[in-house]
Amino acid sequence: MMDRFTVVICVLLVSCICRTLGQTCEGNCGTKLDLCSCHSTCTSLGNCCTDYREYCVETLPHSGSILGGTDFIVLNATFNNSSEIVCRFHDNIKTEGYVDETSRGHCISPLLYETGWVPLSISSDNGTTFNRTGAWLSVHTGKLDAKFKAILVNSTKWQYYGTTDVRGNLEMTWNTSLVRAERVNIELWGYRETGEPYTDSWLGEWAYLYSLAKDQPNSGSFSFLPKPAENGFSSWELGSLRISPSIYPDGMWNVQAAWTDDHALAWHLEEKFRQNSTVWALDKCVAWNQLENELPNFLSELIDCPCTLAQARADTGRFHTDYGCDIEKGSVCTYHPGCVHCVRAIQASPMYASGQQCCYDNTGAQVLTADSNGGSSPDRAHHWGSPPFKKPPRIPGDSHWVYDVLSFYYCCLWSDNCHFYFKLRPSSDCRRYKSPSSAVVFGDPHFITFDGVSYSFNGFGEYTLVTSFAKGLTIQGRTEPVNGTVKATQLTSVAMQETPYDIIEVRLVSGHNGLEVLQNQKTLSFSEQSWMDLHGVYVFSPTSSNVTVMFSSGVGVEVRLREGTMTTTVLLPEEFIDTTMGLLGKMNGDPKDDLALTNGELVQNRTNPEEVFNFGAGWAISNQSALFTYDSEYLLDTFLYAPRHDASFLPVFSIPENPNDPLANQTSEICSGPGSQFCRYDILLGRSPRMGNASKISYQSHISLEEDLKPVISCGWFSPPSNGKKEGTTYLQGAKVNLFCNEGFTLTGPSVRVCQWDGMWSGGDTNCVVRRRRKLCGSHYE
């Protein structure tokens, strides 16, 4: 009781001293001062300066549409009725805020041409000083939860409006709480890009076009009968509808609003489109085709697609689900009929910021545009945009619409001329695709290296899992005792970085019932969005037990929570061959050199647990190299101010064989099949049936992942012979393609071609030649 009283007195004393000596967070957010802290860790350490929350602000919500219009509260900061709030994003985009009836400050998010965290500063004196700082998360409209935007009812009707037999009213709905007003305006905003592509004059522009309705009740729905736009506005073919308070003038920027998804504005195109949409669209398609032929070829720098659906879903460091065709959400693949799932390359190509898309059918085979209009197609502009954003072709969503989607409407949806589109957007096959290598840490910790060596290491401390000096990659793991009585440990945190980008840490929360993600020592909340664009890294966390980290090099780190224990899988592309060291070994295909000390010496006897233990202890990190966050007295005392490997902690090295063990029967019941050895280890040593079961599942998941990532041989797309056709659209080893000729032609060469182990098609050339006519009696021919 006395100790707690002393702590309280000390905190109050420090607070008074900070105030007296001018230790303030104004202008110092993110900094640790001499007597108090303005760093994000101060709240858990209890050493914040007294004005920390006043100047280092949080917001609610903390994220919103890239199109802007989100009204958010500035938490904890003090305002009054005379405060004149101005909110500044970056250093140059300002919006007008306000103080509500409860004296809380509000900001309105602006239209941005980028996604990710944007620096935020707030003024309460009409922009004279901006002394409060924070950050705002700008979100791609396609990744924004539906509850934060207006919805186009029957989107297919909007998509085809004005084409043959598609007429009538269009309807949209929205959550009325998104717009704090009794009456609203419905406005159309358009997007276009101007200037010469790939020059400094190339710019993207959102602009107010006209209002569909004014001073309407904020009822949450609006229906209208579209008509061709007047005053030349029909030349704007891409846009979004905005619902905003009717108190504002038409087209006023950066007011509270709800937006629809950006979409093709078929419903307001000129009368010529309605009279004959096919001819109108063909003209547009041909014009696009001519423009594309004048632009640089971006296809050669794209990554190849994975050969199979299993590979595409397993290679999480380089590919992620395309939300427009997701097997987890019923495979509603509007643009890719015949497919069940598509993925997109996460990273844009280096020079042209282009994107790769890969789609698969229900057999797991890749669908190619050369065989089907539902095939996957590459993109001149990556759908999700790419850093540094702000200018074409890197503007998220919109650049992709201009160069890749509208053209698909012209050539494929509004007319039947897909051959134009697919000639310039052909599917990538998978002949150059190389699967990543995987390694895993799970349970009481068990390790399986990139080259397949498995061992257990029960050290207590912080260690290097993977390091690659050549690639600037470091992944570290923290282990802690399973409990106070068992001489066994488990993984509790993983910290990682690809220099010079953000440090990401994923750790168990107190109680081991969830995972917490930190960016540069600041906790990230995934309560609003499951995907975040960070600096040089992306993080996806659909649930509190599932986190995937994706680096710009294509490295993927999957962290999963099972039965209160962490499983961490690392996926490395082939570029990391011969560059890695650490507890997960050298990735070079040779298991004999995986257990190497920091000086390069190899463990002589991998079956000796004491020798393996000493090997693991040798990979303890230093204070200088540590990537972890130490935001509690326990973490400071246990790791930062102590040796990173606790030499006093000696685990039990062998499984006790005791038939009278009360856990013996459970062990026999749970631990069967693949992974049973790890399961037994964790139950009998860790004294935890839950951990044992989780370890068995983690091992089996790893084996399944390895199976999914197995290399396959592709012979590439097979072209049917001229004047003939083929049956078969699978091009992997063992696949057969049957060949036929059209009427009046004869087949020469093999009628069946088989994809062989060497990536070549069997047999010689197959051709269809004009059938020779035989002369019969008289002048008749056969």
Strand partners of residue 533: 538
Alpha helices in 2-67 (DSSP H): 2-20, 42-45, 52-55
Q: Would you give the DSSP letter of residue 638?
A: I
> Taking the chain, what is the end-to-end CA distance rounded to the nearest angstrom?
111
d(CA 348, CA 361): 25
What is the C-alpha radius of gyration for the chain, rounded to an integer number of angstroms?
31
Measured in residues, the chain has a length of 782
The CB density around residue 710, as the number of other CB atoms within 10 Å, is 11
How far from chain centre, in Å, is Cα 316?
Answer: 9
What is the b/e burial string over 477-498, where b = at least 16 CB atoms within 10 angstroms of the residue's CB?
A: bbbbbbeeebebbbbbbbbbbb
Alpha helices in 143-236 (DSSP H): 155-160
pLDDT, tens digit (0-9, with 9 covering 90-100), for 54-103: 999 999 999 999 999 999 999 999 999 999 999 999 999 999 999 999 99
Mean pLDDT of the 455-471 span: 97
Instruction: Give pLDDT, residue 17.
Output: 44
How far is the CA of 450 from the CAs of 312, 444, 586, 594, 723, in angstroms? 19, 19, 7, 8, 49
CB 553 within 8 A of CB 575: yes
pLDDT, tens digit (0-9, with 9 covering 90-100), for 325-357: 999 999 889 889 999 999 999 999 999 999 999
Instruction: Give pLDDT, residue 656.
Output: 79
- Average pLDDT over the chain reads 94
d(CA 116, CA 66): 9
Q: What is the DSSP string of 707-759?
A: HHT----B----PPPTTEEEE----BTT-EEEEEE-TTEEEES-SEEEB-TTS
d(CA 405, CA 383): 10
Six-digit token string for 311: 């590979």
116-123/132-139 β-pairing: antiparallel
The CB density around residue 145, as the number of other CB atoms within 10 Å, is 11
How far is the CA of 425 from the CAs of 294, 345, 420, 622, in angstroms? 15, 15, 9, 50
Six-digit token string for 670: 């749970």
Sign of CA dihedral 759, 761, 765, 767: negative
Instruction: Give pLDDT, residue 485.
Output: 85
Six-digit token string for 390: 């702000």
Q: What is the pTM of this model?
A: 0.93
Mean pLDDT of the 28-55 span: 96
pLDDT, tens digit (0-9, with 9 covering 90-100), for 712-746: 999 999 999 999 999 999 999 999 999 999 999 99
CB 746 within 8 A of CB 764: no
Q: Which of 654, 570, 674, 569 is nearest to 612 (CA)?
A: 654
